[in-house]
Amino acid sequence: MPPAQINEGLATLSDQLILVTVLLYLIAMIAYALELAFGRSRTAAAVKTRELVTVGAAGSDSSVAGSAADSAAGAEGESRTAPVAPAGWAVKAGAVAVVISWLGWAANLAGLLTRGFAVDRWPWANMYEFVVALCFASVTAFLVLLTRQRIRFLGAFVTVTAALGLGFAVLFLHVQAGPVMPALNSYWIAIHVTAAIIAGGLFLVAGVCAVLYLVRNDGRMSVLPAKEQLDRIAHRAIVIAFPIWTFAVIAGALWADRAWGRYWGWDPKEVWSFITWIAYAAYLHARATAGWRGKAAMIVSLVAFACLLFNLVGVNIFFSGLHSYADVPK
Mean pLDDT for the chain overall: 81
Confidence at residue 218, expressed as pLDDT on a 0 to 100 scale: 63
Average pLDDT (43-67) is 41
Query: With left for phi above 0 and alpha for psi between -120 and 50, is residue 201 left, alpha or beta?
Result: alpha
Higher pLDDT, 322 or 169: 169
pLDDT band with cut points at 50, 70 and 90 for residue 31: very high
pLDDT band with cut points at 50, 70 and 90 for residue 146: very high
Tell the burial category of 161 from Cβ atoms under 10 Å away from its Cβ (0-12, 13-18, 19+).
buried
Task: Name the residue type at position 107.
Answer: A
Average pLDDT (246-262) is 87
Higher pLDDT, 79 or 240: 240
Q: What is the largest CA-CA distance in the chain?
A: 91
- Please state the pTM of the whole predicted model: 0.80
pLDDT at 191 over 50: yes
- Long-range (24+ apart) CB contacts under 8 A made by 307-313 are 307/272, 307/275, 307/276, 307/279, 308/200, 308/203, 308/207, 308/276, 308/279, 308/280, 310/272, 311/269, 311/272, 311/273, 311/275, 311/276, 312/130, 312/134, 312/196, 312/200, 313/127, 313/131
Contact 256, 263 (CB under 8 A): yes
Confidence at residue 181, expressed as pLDDT on a 0 to 100 scale: 72
Confidence at residue 68, expressed as pLDDT on a 0 to 100 scale: 42
Average pLDDT (129-142) is 94
pLDDT digits 0-9 by tens, 271-306: 999 999 999 999 999 888 777 777 888 999 999 999
Task: Name the residue type at position 104.
Answer: G
Q: H-helix or E-strand containing 315? A: helix 315-318
**pLDDT > 90 fraction of the chain, expressed in percent and rounded:** 45
Within 8 A by CB and 6+ apart from 37, the residues are 90, 223
pLDDT digits 0-9 by tens, 157-167: 999 999 999 99
pLDDT at 62 over 50: no
Q: Where are the beta strands (DSSP E) in the chain?
A: 42-43, 83-84
Three-class SS state of 11: helix
pLDDT at 115 over 80: yes
